[in-house]
Chain A
Amino acid sequence: MAATAAAVVTRPIAPEQASLWSDAWRRLRRNRMALISAVYLTLLVVVAIVAIFKTPYSYRAVGVALPYSGPSAANWLGADILGRDVLSRLLVGAQISLIVGVGTQVLVLAVGVPIGLIAGYYKGVADSVVSFIINVFYGIPDLLVAMILLLLLGPSLNNIIIAIVATRWMDMTRLVRGQTLALREREFIEAARASGAKPLKILFGHILPNALGPIIVQATFGVPAAILFEAFLSFLGIGVQPPTPSWGSMASDGLAAIRIAPHMVLAPSIALSLTLMAFNFLGDGLRDALDPRSRR
């Protein structure tokens, strides 16, 4: 009671001027699922970085335990078909997933933001062309195109990222285009134009910062989509090539031995599901925090 009274007294009478970002941070902190997800993802990143230097066993060391042996004190998550430690492989797989997820979104931002800005700002022919291409890409099944691209380029981590970007860049482009179309009519853009700002300055100095909230949210949702995509490709055997582990290929290996060693398929499946869910919850939380007016 006394504490509440003290809090009331010490609180300044006029509310502090809160910036958009600190306001958003305050709202995000109140969202429990988003916070738990953020903690989980931070842990995942830390673990993935630590796994670069140290894993319980080498991810490619064969026969560290009996093939198909279940979880034990020495191998927490058991061993796979060649007696490799599943936990170590899971940790290295986390690296692959994070590299693909984040790398893809960086490239998607690099492609989608400029194209979206130009299409939205200049309208006319540029916009028609971009919109047409976006619609064409939305009409084709992304997984099939990525599979063909990987066949032509050859399966490597870089090519996987390129293939995913080639089939998933439209989401960001469409979002940025829409935001730009709305923002370009606002008074402060008109003011900037009237004061003689160059288009480049208007696009990146005035429009982009104001569209940053939705872009961040979109990128957060894009990461799990890319991770899932990589898992699909690796599951089919055309993604990350052995001996490098990926959650998708580990699940595919495990599925073949599901009757005798269910831990082999459960470990990567659960890790993948948790990670995807965490990113989705974080994205939901960020959306609510950055744009409180929008309701699902």
Chain B
Amino acid sequence: MLTRGTLLYIGQRLVLIAFTVVAVSSIVFLGIHRLPGDALFNEHLHGTQYELLLHHYGLDKPLWEQYTSFLQGMFLHGNLGESLVNRGVPITPLVLRELTVSVEVGLFALIFTIGLGMLLGVVAALRQNSWVDYVLSTTSVIGYSMPSFVIATFLILLFAVWLDNLTQGTFYFQIGWTGTYGSIGEIWLPAFALGFPYASIVARLTRASMLEVIRQDYIRTARAKGLRETVITIRHALRNALIPVITILGPLVIGIITGGVIIENIFGIPGLGKEFANSILNRDYNIVIGVFTMYAALVGLANLGVDLLYVVIDPRIRY
């Protein structure tokens, strides 16, 4: 599978991702640094103190000098600068840690989306026009038109408020994370809220393509051979039904990265999305640049991962 062509392709893509990251961070850097210098500090500062801070952050230099030193720092040392609000906090380790947190939540949501979506889709296709099918098509409309934060709100209301009151506190879902990384008990609800809208899309797609596949001749042949239903469904039908489904993996991953911004803010998850919203609200411009750079890299790498997954699932695709 890892032929020379594939490796070359991966190399090209990585170079392209690096270029995108530089372009994106440059646009954001230049856009933000066009704002007046005062905007870069929260407090009203005067005199020497203000001058010192400007000098500390290099904001007294001309724009192109700031820009080249930013690029140099990013490339040579992987240094994205220092927080403007929490002075002295270097951004790179902070952002990298938050990136792993976001990836953790996103991966859980993705597994959940694909797993539940496919399961429901297959069941609905095999039991077409049964109550399972109807319940599924109704929930998928809800999942599709309800915003993720509304779904999250209802889930919080259900699990953290009503169920808590009902069971007198025996069952209690703690909103917010105690550590840097979430445990399974903490992560399932955010992952569910994040994945639910996409799970309903996956379910609909799986159902449609399963319905098409199970009417094909080779399925009848498999049945005539006397294979068990589960083998037919999983080995013969599902594999081919998957191909239309994987085409939405790319938009799905982007959607989960974007939706993560909302979900992380609702559930108090210390990830990249929460930091992004906070830094915009706090006007911590250096962190805004850092987080956005990370997002550019994350999106690029996620897309690359999806494209490589195509090769694994569908051997006809070659790069």
Interface residues of A (CB under 8 A from B): 139-144, 147-148, 150-152, 224, 228, 231-232, 235-238, 248, 251, 254-255, 258-259, 262, 265-266, 269, 272-273, 276-277, 280
The 29 listed contacts between A and B (C-beta, < 8 Å) are A140-B299, A141-B257, A141-B258, A141-B295, A143-B258, A144-B258, A144-B276, A144-B292, A144-B295, A147-B276, A147-B280, A151-B288, A152-B31, A152-B35, A236-B265, A236-B277, A236-B280, A254-B153, A255-B266, A258-B160, A258-B161, A262-B157, A269-B149, A269-B153, A272-B147, A272-B150, A276-B145, A276-B146, A277-B146
B294 to chain A, nearest CB (A): 11
Contact (Cβ within 8 A) B258 A142: yes
Q: How many A-B residue pairs have CB under 8 A?
A: 93
B71 at the interface (CB under 8 A from A): no
The DSSP consensus for interface residues of chain B is helix
14 additional A-B residue pairs with CB within 8 Å, beyond A141-B299, A232-B262, A236-B277: A144-B292, A147-B261, A147-B276, A151-B32, A152-B35, A235-B149, A236-B265, A236-B281, A255-B156, A265-B157, A266-B157, A269-B154, A272-B147, A277-B146
Contact (Cβ within 8 A) B145 A269: no
Which residue of A has the minimal Cβ distance to B296? A140
Tell me, in angstroms, the Cα distance from A45 to B266 when the chains sit together: 30
Q: If A147-B277, A272-B147 touch, does A236 touch B262 (CB 8 Å cutoff)?
A: yes
Interface residues of B in 1-59 (CB under 8 A from A): 28, 31-32, 35
Interface residues of B (CB under 8 A from A): 28, 31-32, 35, 141, 144-147, 149-150, 153-154, 156-157, 160-161, 254, 257-258, 261-262, 265-266, 276-277, 280-281, 288, 292, 295, 299, 303
From A142, A224, A273, name the one whose CB has the most chain B CB atoms within 10 angstroms.
Answer: A273
Contact (Cβ within 8 A) A273 B299: no
Contact (Cβ within 8 A) A143 B261: yes
Contact (Cβ within 8 A) A258 B295: no
The DSSP consensus for interface residues of chain A is helix
